[in-house]
Amino acid sequence: MYRSRDIAVQLSERIKELSKKILAETGRDELNIMNFCGTHEWTITHYGLRSLMPPSVNLVAGPGCPVCITPGYYIDILIDASFERNTIVITYGDAFKLPGSRNKHPRSLFHAKANGGNVKVVYSFQDAVKEAVREPGKKHVFLAVGFETTMPATAIPLVSGKIPRNLYILSAYRLTPPIMRFLLEKHPEIRLDGIIAPGHVSAVIGANSWRFVAEEYGIPIVVSGFEPLDVVLSIYMILKSIEEGRPRLMNEYTRVVNPDGNTYALKAISEAYTVKDSYWRGIGSVPLSGAVHSPRYSNYDYLESMGFKETITDDKHPGCICDKVVLGLAKPTQCPLFMKACTPNNPYGPCMVSSEGTCRIWAENMPVL
């Protein structure tokens, strides 16, 4: 049902009519709709949804890839930790090849492991807990990368007292509404006409978390599912909202997302973590956009336990334009290294590492431009 070609084509006709009307009334020559989330970019690229849009409707990939914006400094620290005696670094697979900020070998945890570092890849935080229980004499450090979607994975075991004392967490968690606000405040040059809000994140934080976009910035925003028809319908809803002159928050993903989110998960997150200003790779320091462990759980916090200070290093590698790709200011194909020195098998920049990175998505799905 969510992949019906006929319905998609019908909707695309309506999108063409609406966009024509809006452009005639506003005098604009294009409309920019940002999909915040990497998974939406995958749907758009994989199913060739850009080819269903009129040339005037520009679908812009946004900053919704947590691996892409994880500071290189964290990776540097973990590469060093992996060579310490009795220490095991644990990561999800999508951050395994993420380069640190030092442009020399070993550049990533993948390279560290190849050079004898102690690195393990897990599918879930529960697997990390099992590893730590299995080897109680060793220190384990888990790289916690993700947006609000993945925070409950560590927050709930933390507040439930189910984490062994030899397991530390390096919190690279980042929060999505603050980066959206930052983008709207600091980068008006992108001139967004509508935003497709992340569905999975919204299942945790609630659709209402995005209301500020419509109310404070006058930009329609739709919480969207991830099937092709979800995305095409969301684009239609945005254009309809513009045409009616009523920019508002809409929820297309009501089968999963409610207005207030998952209260159980949110309670655990607010107990386990404290919000603070944090650095986003390639973007800069974003107010109240990161999470460190609250004082009660700070003995699980790897950076705090080891006395590391949050440090901003130059983690942009020469030639890589990932910082612009993440902000929607450039397309992967504008990077001279795309599919030359930077490929999914051998990623040079952070946007080519994770399956949610725009460069990786474009590399693997042959975008229809």
Binding-site ranges for ligand SF4 (CB under 6 A): 320-322, 325, 332, 335, 337-338, 342, 348-349, 351-352, 359
Smaller CB distance to ligand SF4: residue 295 or 319? 319
Least distance in Å: CB of 102 to ligand SF4?
A: 16
Beta partners for residue 58, in sequence order:
32
Smaller CB distance to ligand SF4: residue 138 or 324? 324
Dist. CA 175–CA 149, nearest whole Å: 10
Contact indicator for 112, 83 with CB cutoff of 8 Å: yes
Least distance in Å: CB of 340 to ligand SF4?
A: 8
| Angle value at C-alpha 315, between 300 and 94, nearest 5 degrees | 60
Smaller CB distance to ligand SF4: residue 253 or 338? 338
Helix (H, G, I), strand (E, B) or coil at 144: strand
Least distance in Å: CB of 214 to ligand SF4?
A: 31
Dist. CA 256–CA 329, nearest whole Å: 31
Dist. CA 84–CA 51, nearest whole Å: 51
Smaller CB distance to ligand SF4: residue 238 or 321? 321
Dist. CA 352–CA 350, nearest whole Å: 5
Number of neighbouring beta carbons within 10 Å of residue 127: 15
Smaller CB distance to ligand SF4: residue 20 or 105? 105
Least distance in Å: CB of 37 to ligand SF4?
A: 18
Least distance in Å: CB of 343 to ligand SF4?
A: 8
Sign of CA dihedral 294, 295, 299, 304: positive
Which amino acid, residue 157?
P
Least distance in Å: CB of 331 to ligand SF4?
A: 9
Smaller CB distance to ligand SF4: residue 281 or 293? 281
Distance of CA 286 to the CA centre of its chain: 14
Which residue has the closest beta carbon to ligand SF4?
349
Least distance in Å: CB of 207 to ligand SF4?
A: 31
233: nearest Cα among 242, 221, 224: 224
331: nearest Cα among 142, 121, 50: 50
Least distance in Å: CB of 341 to ligand SF4?
A: 7
Least distance in Å: CB of 112 to ligand SF4?
A: 20
Least distance in Å: CB of 31 to ligand SF4?
A: 25
Smaller CB distance to ligand SF4: residue 196 or 335? 335
Smaller CB distance to ligand SF4: residue 79 or 359? 359
Smaller CB distance to ligand SF4: residue 99 or 194? 99
Contacts of the segment 110-118: beta carbons below 8 A, 24+ positions apart: 111/79, 112/78, 112/79, 112/82, 112/83, 113/82, 116/83, 117/79, 117/82, 117/83, 117/89, 118/82, 118/83, 118/87, 118/88, 118/89
Smaller CB distance to ligand SF4: residue 67 or 237? 67
Q: What are phi and psi of 280, to 5 degrees?
A: -110, 125
Dist. CA 220–CA 49, nearest whole Å: 20
Among all chains, which residue has been given the structure tokens 């209402």? 208
